[in-house]
Structure formats: structure tokens, C-alpha cells
Structure 1
Amino acid sequence: MAAGKDTRDQIMRAGEALFSQSGFRGVSMRDIAKAADTQVGSITYHFESKEGLLLSIYRRNCGPMNERRAELLREAERIKDIDQRLEAIVRAWVLPALSSNADLVGGGARFARLRAKMSAEGNEAVRDVIATIFDETSHALIDAIGRCLPALARPTIVWRCHFLLGALYYTLIDPDRINRLSQGEADGNDMKEALEQLVMATVGMLRS
């Protein structure tokens, strides 16, 4: 049992590392097996397929993150002041995604890169995995914003949350662009500052 668990963990670590570097299409089962020092048959035994492996990686990393989002969202919705509540709702959704390497709630920086690459890839299997993991928390975010801004049509909220997601992924996948365009006056790897800028920009967009 222990040996099987160790093999499963090795495969998941190898898959996460390779997917974060090369995307879903750019990694083969043989690549994963080689990196995990095992056989392709071990991957199919534990996960059935490459898609099954990716889903397991997402579940392991995103379970704590989604739980944290839900916890912060519940706290945010208890705030009476509408302006403060809206800011707290957006922050509740963004904060866990900008977690550092040491913060397992967000899955760490490597998993953040993996998520950004997966979302940009446009693969149908990847889209199914993302929908399975994130649609529930996304609906909760949209609903909470709608209760703060009842005059804003739901399709408009969906569009603006979609833009938030794009900004979040781009922040995660290419922080050095901030350094370059600001000529060194801003640090794209400063996740605390990224959080504040993203929350304020999103709140302004939602209120416009």
C-alpha cells in the first residue's frame, strides 16, 4: 500500500512539474513515466489517462484553495457596507490564487503556472477539468457580486469576472512584464501589490 501511494505521489509530482513547464499537449505519458521513474502502466493503473492525472493534480491543489475561497466569501458577505463588501468578495476570490510557494492553500507558484498554461491552451479535455474544479466557486463569486450590484445584469457580471480571470492568469504567468514596462519601478513578483492592484481594478470595472 505504501509503495503504491509513493508511486502515485511521484507520478503526480512529475506530472505537475512537466505540465507547468510544457503544457498539457507538450507532455506525453512516457515523459511523465520517465520523470517519475516508473512505467506508463503505473500511470494508467493509478489515473487511467493523462486527463485523469491532470484532474487528480487539480483536485489535490484546488481543494484547499476552493475551501479557502468559500470561507473568505462567507466572511465577506457578512459585511454590511456595500462598498466594503464588494471589495472583500473580490479579494476572497483572488487572494488564494496568489498564494506563495509556502502557502499550500493556493497550490504554490508552480501550480499557479500550470493553471495559467492550462487555461491558455484551449484543450477540450483541459476545459472539462477546469469546469469540474472551478465552476462551483465561479458561480458563488458571480452570485455574491450580483447581490452587491443588483442593477448589474448577470451576463455583464460574467463578462467582467471573465476579464478578472484573464488578468489573474496573466499576472501569474508573466510577472516580469510588469518589471520591464514600469522600468523597474514595480515588481511583478510582489504578490501583495498584485493583489491590491487586481482587487481595486476589478472593483472599479464592476462599478463602471
Structure 2
Amino acid sequence: MRGDVRQRLLETAATLFSRNGYNAVSMRDIAKAADANVGSLTYHFGSKANLLREIYETRAAPMNARRLELLGEARRIHDRSERLRAILRAYVVPAFSSSNGGDGGGAEFTRMRAILSAEGNEDARSIIALAFDATSRAFIEAIAECVPGAAPEGLIWRSQFLLGSLYYALINPDRVSRLSDGQVNGHDHEQAIEQIVEASHASFLALAAQVRTQTETA
């Protein structure tokens, strides 16, 4: 039973953080929603920061593993343009996976990451960096191989835009539906994946075109 309580607290905290952010959710809020007492939270995790750290360790590890598995497959593609598209899909797809799918992350976890990143809480910032920076660097390196000669600032900024589009697609899908007057379903994950990948693909290929232009005019 103790293990059940611990898991329930983790799942409840992740749900509340994904809806309301880290700063607005108290230990008492988590305990109440999980039908437990605050003493149970303190016993199992010690602090809210430790609780968040464990959520990341539990969910980031399989997401990172799945991303790196797909990245390894993508890097075997010879054509640079198609390799780039596959790399981008390797990054995006696990973020949309069901949190119960066993392959990491899930939409709820990605929403939580986005909200916590926007809050600027120092505990959350350091936990997110520890969980994802190494994998993000691996993807940036792989993307750079597809656009040789591209300036680092372009690669870094456009990688950041990729993450931003991923976050926003999961945080506010209703806006897509509203602005399209219902013609586009913002909750259609497959369509969201395709649109994010294609937009980022075009963005990174534009860096390659810039390099060619600079080379030709040099």
C-alpha cells in the first residue's frame, strides 16, 4: 500500500503542475488531491523540489531513451534533407506520446515542462536542465551535420524555436481550432507533429541555403 500512495502522489503532483504550474501548487494541494496527508509527502520526498526532481527522473529517462533510439535510426539516413526530417521527428514524436505508452514523456509531461519553464523558478530550471540538456545537445549536433557550415547562433536559436513550437502546440491547442474557425483541430497530435516537423525542416534548410549563398558570393 505504501508504494501505491507514493505513486499516487507522483502522478497527482505531475497533473497539478501541468495544469497550474509549480509555484501555485502547494504540498497541501497535492496531498488533498491524492487523498493523502502532507506527512506522506514529506516522508516520501522531503520537499516539493525533491518531488519534482523524481517526476523528471521517472518521466525524462524513458523520453530521452526513446528520442535517442529514434535519433540513432535517423542518423543512418544518407540524404541530408530526409535525415534532417527524421531527426526532427525523433525529437517531436515522443513528446506527444501517451504518458501511459511506456516510451517516455507524454503530452501532460510536456505541458508541465512548458509551464514550469515559463515560470522561471530556479529549482525547476535546474531540474529541467539536468534532465534534458545532454539530449538536446545531441540533437543539435545531429542537426548541424545536416546543415554543414551553418552558424552556431542559427542552429541554437532555431532549435529553441522548435522547442517553443512543441510546447505551445501542447499547451494551447484550442487556439488553433479557434483561429481556424474549427477547420483545423488543434488536438490532432498527428497533424501537430507533421506541421512542427515541416516548419522546422524548412527553417533549418534555410540555414543550408544561406551557407551556399555565402559560399557562392565569397
Is TM (by shorter chain) over 0.5?
yes
Q: Output one character per residue of 1:24-71: Cα deviation in whole Å (capped at 9) or x when no partner.
A: 001111111222233323222222210111111122122211111000
Match of residue 21 from structure 1: 19
1:51 corresponding residue in structure 2: 49
Whole-angstrom distance in 2 between the partners of 1:101 and 1:6: 18
Task: Mark the structure with the bigger radius of gyration.
Answer: 2
Alpha-carbon distance in structure 1 between the residues aligned to 2:101 and 2:27 = 29
Q: Distance in 2 between matches of 1:132 and 1:97?
A: 17
Q: How does 1:184-199 map onto structure 2 within 5 Å?
A: 184-199=182-197
Paired residues of 1:116 and 1:169 also in contact (CA < 8 A)? yes
Match of 2:148 in 1: 150
TM-score calculated relative to the size of structure 2: 0.89
1:60 is the counterpart of 2:58: yes
Check if 1:34 corresponds to 2:26. no
Alpha-carbon offset, residue 11 of structure 1: 1.1
Compute the displacement of 1:109 (Å).
3.1
For the 8 Å contact 2:95–2:107, the answer to whether it is kept is: no
Alignment of 1:26-175 (within 5 A): 26-100=24-98, 103-175=101-173
Percentage identity across paired residues of the two chains: 52
Partner of 2:6: 8
- Hey, what's the Cα distance between the residues in 1 that align with 2:4 and 2:137? 36
C-alpha deviation, 1:183, in angstroms: 1.5
Distance 2:149 2:74 in 1: 20
**What is the TM-score with the length of structure 1 in the denominator?**
0.93
Q: Gaps spanning 5+ residues in structure 2: where? A: 207-218
For each residue in 1:63-120, what CA deviation from the matched residue of structure 2 results, as whole angstroms up to 9, or x when unmatched?
Answer: 2111110000000001111111111111110111112465342433332322221122
User: Secondary structure of the equivalent of 1:137?
Assistant: helix
CA distance in 2, matches of 1:102, 1:192: 17
Q: 1:183 and 1:79 mapped to 2: Cα distance?
A: 39
2: CA distance, partners of 1:156 / 1:48: 42
* Residues in 1 aligned to 2:148 and 2:50: alpha-carbon distance in whole angstroms: 39
CA contact (8 A) 1:98 1:106 kept: no
Q: Which runs of 4+ in 1 moved over 4 A?
A: none
The separation in 1 between residues aligned to 2:159 and 2:193, in whole angstroms, is: 15
- Displacement, 1:135? 0.5
Structure 1, unmatched stretches of 5+, are none
Separation (CA, whole Å) in 2 of partners of 1:177 and 1:171: 9
